[in-house]
Amino acid sequence: MSSDTKFNFIEVCSGAGGLSCGFMNKQFSPLLLNDVDKHCCKTLERNHPGCNVKCGSFCDIDFSEYAGKVDVLMGGVPCQSFSQAGKRKGLGDERGNLLVQFMSLIDKINPKVFLIENVKGLVTHDKGKTMEFILEKLNRKKYIVTWKVLNANDYGVPQNRKRLIIVGVRKDIKKEYFFPTEEEHKPVLRDAIADVPESEGHSYSGRKKEIMHMVPEGGCWVDLPVDVQKEYMKKSYYSGGGKRGIAKRLAWDKPCLTLTTSPCQKQTEKCHPSETRPLSVREYARIQTFPDTYKFEGSVANKYKQIGNAVPVKLAEHLAVSIATVLK
């Protein structure tokens, strides 16, 4: 770590390390990074040699040695349970219960600040009752809690990606937390991938490539001939909803749509704006503002998944700076 490191942190459910990378870029030193996915752990170990990486559920880790010694405890606690695209089982789902486990971890470690990252769907889950439950439990602790849904595009990320951020500051710190100020410049896809180095990635084949070739820049299935729409959409053609993510070709001069765990899922296509292919792995990483030196372990599909699930690095940097202001 840099000699001018100011604060430390522990991150659980680190994924590929977007959040921790942003904090390290702002002179925070990791005491421990954790994830249950072995490929994510290998990615963390490769990019942060010598860092204490624990692979497995954070529920099984003994954190007693860190009690009272941690500036920031944070985690992108798995959010599939609350996603608007999923079944939204919430706290009845094992992954949702990890959020409850994280609350227990706050009590065990007693950090000065905690940060939770989750999907914006948590705010409206079960008509807001889940969020109300979580905030009630957090506010019972010795922390002043605040939350906000942030769009990464407001913080130097060339992507419309909205995420819920919950921050708690221990009351004895006696400083109020303010979320980072939005930047005036909103980067677009061209800013990220116009000069991207070549890398591995998925490709289209056969009829799908022919169909995607017909889609204009910024367009989607509605821009195809009606007979081709019916051929490609099948039953979805007759269902309701806009479905504008199907057969979607991105636009150079607009922010990228929210990256998912694959660039070529039928409902959430991410076709290159001028080439008929899905975004490459390095393009994915650029859009999530990972540096080109950041390497991902695992298969191509696993690399897409790691990057698609990550917190954008530049968003993490802004959060680190705002939290450092409180810790000072």
* 7: phi then psi, degrees, rounded to nearest 5: -135, 165
Q: Which residues contact 65 (CB under 8 A, 6 or more apart)?
A: none
Strand order in the sheet with 72-75: 53-55, 28-35, 7-12, 72-75, 113-119, 162-170, 143-151
Give, for 80, the enclosing helix (H) or strand (E).
none
Residue showing tokens 């980067």: 187
59 given a catalytic annotation: no
How many helices (H) and strands (E) would you count in the chain? 11, 7
* 307: phi then psi, degrees, rounded to nearest 5: -70, -45
Name the token pair of 39. 């490929």
> Any idea what the Cα angle at residue 68 is, between residues 21 and 52, rounded to 5°?
35
* 169: phi then psi, degrees, rounded to nearest 5: -115, 125
Asked if residue 216 lies in contact with residue 249, where contact means CB atoms within 8 angstroms, the answer is yes
Asked if residue 32 lies in contact with residue 66, where contact means CB atoms within 8 angstroms, the answer is yes
Rounded Cα distance, 92 and 270, in Å: 32
Rounded Cα distance, 300 and 262, in Å: 10
Rounded Cα distance, 229 and 45, in Å: 45
> Considering 79, 220, 256, 271, which one is annotated as catalytic?
79
Residues annotated as catalytic (active site), given as ranges: 79
